[in-house]
A and B are shown apart, each in its own frame.
Chain A
Amino acid sequence: MSSSNLAGNTNTTTTSSAASAAAAHSAANASTITSEYSTTQTTTGTFNTDTLSSIGSTSTLHGSQPSQPPPPPPPQVSSPIAAAAAASAALVAQLNPADRWPTEPSAYKLDESIGVGATATVFTAYCLPRNEKVAIKCINLEKCQTSVDELSHEIQAMSQCNHPNVVSYYTSFIAQEELWVVMRLLNCGSMLDILKRKVKAIGKEQAQFGVLDEVSIATVLREVLKGLEYFHLNGQIHRDIKAGNILLADDGTIQIADFGVSGWLASSGGDLSRQKVRHTFVGTPCWMAPEVMEQVQGYDFKADIWSLGILAIELATGTAPYHKYPPMKVLMLTLQNDPPTLETNAERKDQYKAYGKSFKTLIRDCLQKDPAKRPTASELLKYSFFKKGKDKKYLVHTLIENLASVPVVAHHSSKKVASGKLRKDAHGNWEFEYDSPQESDDDSDLEDEEREKKKKKASASASGAGAAGAAGGATGGAASGAPSAQEGGGATTPCPETLNMVLRVRNQQRELNDIKFDYTKSADTVEGIAHELVTAELIDCHDLVIVAANLQKLIDFAESKSDRRSITFALNSGVHANEIPDERTLTGFAQISLLD
């Protein structure tokens, strides 16, 4: 009987296998390897029998397992382990699914993209079951260079944080090859967005003397410090504190976001000793502490205090010190120079006199090169500067309501092709300036155009003839720069020495940009230009080498008098999750051309 049953099972398996093979053959894309499997299947009947025996054995073992949950045994005869399991099962039975955030993509309706990177996009989204707006970060795990283990550590670092000044993590789950991280939506954007809107609101002239007032800065930094204090007491380092990672909610809440490079000091999270240090080289160069760059003795949570000092300068001046320089130069300057101050960004004396002594003391103490001398977050919170800080309502009024009429920073508009010029200023530093919009399709644009013309006129007269690198408006600067460059070119160097080029590439918001720049053989390197493109966030850092290589190729064409004037090449940064690489539309590709 037993033998007969086994034989019967074998026959059934063979039949199923034949059916599967037939189905495979009928499929248009059936591969021949599959058909080979079919042949192999037939000739290894003996092993099928063995496999069946094995499966049977496994089933028997499965049958011996206790049912889940195990029925509660009589207390008198229960073992401690069985009692513990019964208690746990009882707790599980009481869990309320409504308390949980959903873990299937269909429960969320993705809305606008509010941030794009090479391997991840952040969307506003709507959680249907909970009737709540959220932010969802979708990370493509096939493109992401971070290992699953590292991502897991980062997510767990987030999920183990519960503090009003740290971004609120709700849940995360796998959707196909993407990791979706569901977080609280802080819909007023980052402090970097706020800085840009503020500059636009008060004008570049006024912004030169300071973007945010001391009260706003004190309020924001105090909240950031509370978040950092929490991190550090929990044995965590953030490692990427900057305006772009400080978020603002519509109730005035300030939260630290982006745990992309956060990490536990200890692998298990169990030992909170602050003696342990890290050796990983991560973060954004302008905000990076010297000991992180040096990689000699490792670093600890004091690295975040340095970044906070840079953030303070950023909130006051609108940019981080050394923001104009390529990454390697930033490293050199940070290591070799005295620590930055407000004056590091200044172009004239007393430019930042609006900021008082207590603010400058804060900056100085945070930016000491010896990490042991930097105050802790807890100590900083006691600094007199923070007596100037106010409550959330002040931030709502000052940074949200007052700037409400300023156009939002566009992250996802694809209607216009933005363009700009990358050029050197009088000091030999690279600067990138966007061109003014060419089109006007409504009265509002016409009005803007009129205003722009007046601005251009004023700017032109203010800067005077031949004053390259003037601090006037973008248009004025570009206008005055171009003739000057041409005159200079004509007067001092032969035309063939300088090449005019344009790089057409999608930015992080997937908008197609035309970036114009000059290359002068005697003064420029392709690496330098590529570095600047990365620093200005016009191209992804993964594309630095490929852009430099193709730039060199085009220059070689020009020097050999080739007819070829344009090169289209694939980018290493790849495409967004919902995009398909397309050379024609420059999706996942870029194009570099010579201009006449």
Chain B
Amino acid sequence: MLKPLFGKADKTPADVVKNLRDALLVIDRHGTNTSERKVEKAIEETAKMLALAKTFIYGSDANEPNNEQVTQLAQEVYNANVLPMLIKHLHKFEFECKKDVASVFNNLLRRQIGTRSPTVEYLAARPEILITLLLGYEQPDIALTCGSMLREAVRHEHLARIVLYSEYFQRFFVFVQSDVFDIATDAFSTFKDLMTKHKNMCAEYLDNNYDRFFGQYSALTNSENYVTRRQSLKLLGELLLDRHNFSTMNKYITSPENLKTVMELLRDKRRNIQYEAFHVFKIFVANPNKPRPITDILTRNRDKLVEFLTAFHNDRTNDEQFNDEKAYLIKQIQELRV
């Protein structure tokens, strides 16, 4: 009975991290050559040590996690500087090993000591790690793993700011249109978190980068890809309706070009696109301070809009809020002539 227990306790967190670091250094020194036996063994050793690290953090069937061991492991990870190498060489690891990297990384990010988040501080001092994660979307084999880690990281405002204000943030407008559905939707999920999680920072970013951001965003709402168009329209509605983004909303809904685009999307042949477009269109109509060019467009199309909206999605009988809003819009448009 004692023997197996002793066996389990054979390696300390310090041992695990040391072995991990030694293996990573072998991989690092040999660059792209992974066929060498030494490198293969190092990759296997990396996987073993990560699995052990996971058991320290999450426990196993037999043992609950030990807080002291977790603290020790985290401290060793920072001291040995293994995180940059793990992420740099992520593409070389086997399938399950990649997931273990994400599990360990994400758990370390959630650690708090008092009011401090040591892993957040560690990453803030090494922003290139975040950029490497972001650019992971360009490599299908590691896109989702990097996405998971990046999303965990940007839950912290300090790290989100680094990503959002990085010149590489613009790549998201390409990533969210990936041909591969799960990569595109994962990237969109991260993009959405960046634009919605930290309200004041997002509002500030949109104010400062309005023209650039919405210039690129229009490529998403006009995308030929059904999911890109649908999801980006939905997010657009959410961004505009968030009270923190009041200044951005005002700018967006006073633009006649934007109104025309939304009116065209209302008549998209796909009903779910129409529905999302409605939730953007309603913001233009509900604006109590409509500028003249906006009221001109609405007035000129008044009768057609009333007819169109009266027949719009009448089968949504269970959506009470939608029907109330639709009735309100029809009333507002009918009264425009006053």
Q: Are B257 and A47 in contact (CB under 8 A)?
A: yes
Q: Are B110 and A94 in contact (CB under 8 A)?
A: no
CA distance A39 to B299 in the complex (A): 13
Q: Are B102 and A172 in contact (CB under 8 A)?
A: no
Q: Are B170 and A65 in contact (CB under 8 A)?
A: yes
Which of A33, A81, A156 is B127 in contact with, Cβ under 8 Å? A81
Q: Are A55 and B215 in contact (CB under 8 A)?
A: yes
Query: Which B114-154 residues have a C-beta within 8 angstroms of A?
Result: 126-129, 131-132, 135-136, 138-140, 144, 148-149, 151-152
Which of B170, B231, B304 is A148 in contact with, Cβ under 8 Å? B231
CA distance A33 to B298 in the complex (A): 11
Among B36-44, B176-184, B282-290, the stretch that binds chain A is B176-184
Interface 1/0 per residue, A138-175 and B, CB below 8 Å? 00011000001100100110011010000000011110
Among A85-93, A391-399, A476-484, the stretch that binds chain B is A85-93
Q: Are B226 and A92 in contact (CB under 8 A)?
A: no
Query: Known contacts A142-B270, A152-B186; is A61 also within 8 Å of B227 by CB?
Result: no
Query: Known contacts A61-B212, A85-B131; is A91 also within 8 Å of B296 by CB?
Result: no
Q: Are B271 and A142 in contact (CB under 8 A)?
A: yes
Answer yes or no: A37 CB below 8 A from chain B CBs: yes
Q: Are B211 and A160 in contact (CB under 8 A)?
A: no
Report the contact-size class of chain A (Cβ under 8 Å from the partner).
35 or more
Query: Known contacts A84-B135, A160-B99; is A173 also within 8 Å of B106 by CB?
Result: no
Which of A61, A89, A176 is B226 in contact with, Cβ under 8 Å? A176
Residues on B with beta carbons closer than 8 Å to the beta carbon of A334: none
Q: Are B180 and A85 in contact (CB under 8 A)?
A: no
Answer yes or no: A40 CB below 8 A from chain B CBs: yes
Least Cβ distance of B292 to chain A in Å? Answer: 10
Q: Are B136 and A88 in contact (CB under 8 A)?
A: yes
Residues on B with beta carbons closer than 8 Å to the beta carbon of A47: 256-257, 293
Residues on B with beta carbons closer than 8 Å to the beta carbon of A494: none
Answer yes or no: A280 CB below 8 A from chain B CBs: no
Answer yes or no: B328 CB below 8 A from chain A CBs: no
> Most B CB atoms within 10 A — which of A47, A88, A159?
A88
What would 27 A/B residue contacts be, using CB atoms closer than 8 Å?
A36-B300, A40-B296, A40-B300, A47-B257, A65-B167, A80-B128, A81-B128, A81-B131, A84-B88, A85-B135, A85-B168, A87-B132, A89-B135, A94-B32, A148-B230, A152-B185, A172-B182, A173-B180, A173-B181, A234-B99, A268-B148, A268-B152, A269-B102, A270-B152, A271-B107, A273-B58, A378-B61
CA distance A249 to B146 in the complex (A): 33
Q: Are A92 and B138 in contact (CB under 8 A)?
A: yes
Answer yes or no: A83 CB below 8 A from chain B CBs: yes
Given contacts A32-B304, A81-B128, A177-B270, 19 further A-B contacts (CB under 8 A): A36-B304, A40-B297, A44-B296, A66-B167, A81-B166, A84-B131, A88-B131, A88-B132, A89-B135, A91-B91, A103-B179, A156-B182, A172-B180, A173-B180, A174-B225, A270-B110, A270-B149, A272-B58, A273-B58
Interface 1/0 per residue, A518-558 and B, CB below 8 Å? 00000000000000000000000000000000000000000
CA distance A156 to B183 in the complex (A): 9
Answer yes or no: A95 CB below 8 A from chain B CBs: yes
Residues on B with beta carbons closer than 8 Å to the beta carbon of A39: 300
Q: Which residue of B lies closest to A94 (CB)?
A: B32
CA distance A100 to B178 in the complex (A): 13
Query: Which B75-90 residues have a C-beta within 8 angstroms of A?
Result: 88
Answer yes or no: B95 CB below 8 A from chain A CBs: yes
CA distance A39 to B106 in the complex (A): 56
Answer yes or no: B247 CB below 8 A from chain A CBs: no
Residues on B with beta carbons closer than 8 Å to the beta carbon of A66: 167
CA distance A103 to B212 in the complex (A): 30
Q: Which residue of B lies closest to A39 (CB)?
A: B300
Q: Are B301 and A269 in contact (CB under 8 A)?
A: no
CA distance A234 to B181 in the complex (A): 22
Query: Known contacts A40-B300, A81-B128, A152-B181; is A270 also within 8 Å of B167 by CB?
Result: no
Query: Known contacts A54-B211, A87-B132, A103-B180; is A37 also within 8 Å of B227 by CB?
Result: no
Q: Are A58 and B139 in contact (CB under 8 A)?
A: no
Answer yes or no: B331 CB below 8 A from chain A CBs: no
Residues on B with beta carbons closer than 8 Å to the beta carbon of A91: 91, 139
Query: Which B223-247 residues have a C-beta within 8 angstroms of A?
Result: 225-227, 230-231
Which of B61, B189, B226 is A177 in contact with, Cβ under 8 Å? B226
Q: Which residue of A lies closest to B315 (CB)?
A: A572
Answer yes or no: A16 CB below 8 A from chain B CBs: no
Query: Which A382-437 residues have a C-beta within 8 angstroms of B?
Result: none
Q: Which residue of B lies closest to A152 (CB)?
A: B185
Residues on B with beta carbons closer than 8 Å to the beta carbon of A162: 95-96
Q: Which residue of B lies closest to A90 (CB)?
A: B32
Residues on A with beta carbons closer than 8 Å to the beta carbon of B272: 141-142
The 10 closest A-B pairs by CB, nearest first: A270-B106, A152-B185, A88-B135, A103-B179, A84-B128, A80-B128, A58-B215, A172-B181, A162-B95, A84-B132
Query: Known contacts A40-B300, A155-B185; is A100 also within 8 Å of B226 by CB?
Result: no
Interface residues, chain A, with chain B CB atoms under 8 Å away: 31-33, 36-37, 39-40, 43-44, 47, 51, 54-55, 57-58, 61, 65-66, 79-81, 83-85, 87-89, 91-92, 94-95, 100, 103-104, 141-142, 148-149, 152, 155-156, 159-160, 162, 171-174, 176-177, 179, 181, 234, 268-273, 376, 378
> Most B CB atoms within 10 A — which of A37, A65, A104, A174?
A174
Residues on B with beta carbons closer than 8 Å to the beta carbon of A376: 61
Q: Which residue of A lies closest to B88 (CB)?
A: A87
Answer yes or no: B11 CB below 8 A from chain A CBs: no
Query: Which B188-228 residues have a C-beta within 8 angstroms of A?
Result: 189, 211-212, 215, 225-227
Which of A36, A54, A92 is B301 in contact with, Cβ under 8 Å? A36
CA distance A198 to B215 in the complex (A): 62
Q: Are A270 and B132 in contact (CB under 8 A)?
A: no
Residues on B with beta carbons closer than 8 Å to the beta carbon of A104: 179
Q: Are B260 and A40 in contact (CB under 8 A)?
A: yes
Answer yes or no: B248 CB below 8 A from chain A CBs: no
Residues on B with beta carbons closer than 8 Å to the beta carbon of A159: 144, 182
CA distance A378 to B140 in the complex (A): 32
Q: Are A171 and B180 in contact (CB under 8 A)?
A: yes
> Most A CB atoms within 10 A — which of B129, B182, B267?
B182
Answer yes or no: B46 CB below 8 A from chain A CBs: no
Answer yes or no: B263 CB below 8 A from chain A CBs: yes
Residues on A with beta carbons closer than 8 Å to the beta carbon of B168: 85
